[in-house]
Amino acid sequence: MFPIYLGYYPIGIAQILLLIICLVFFGIYGKRVFKSAEAEKDKLVQYVPIILLVVGYLISMCIIAISIFWWVAFMP
């Protein structure tokens, strides 16, 4: 057993860091995708994987944000 009990704090800190990292990478990816999409022809089929990836990112970021809310709400 660890000699110092940190309680719930490492869970929340890890979730906050994960959300920040996810937001940073989402921003980098979004900027890169929009630059490459402007250079290529506009085809709907080309945007399907991009849309699915963006939806996946947004869903995971929402789940992380909700779990941070639960962490704060139920903190002793």
CB 40 within 8 A of CB 46: yes
What is the per-residue pLDDT across 41-75, written as a single tens digit (0 to 9) for each?
A: 666 666 777 778 888 888 888 888 888 888 888 87
Q: What is the pLDDT of residue 38?
A: 65
Q: What is the pLDDT of residue 37?
A: 64
* 62: enclosing H helix or E strand: helix 44-73
Share of the chain above pLDDT 70, in %: 76
Task: Please report where in the chains the tokens 């906050």 appear, as a residue.
Answer: 16
How far from each other are the two terminal CA atoms of the chain, in whole angstroms?
A: 21
| Residues 24, 49: Cα–Cα separation, whole Å | 20
Output the pTM of the full model: 0.64
Contacts of 19 (CB under 8 A, 6+ apart): 61, 64, 65, 68
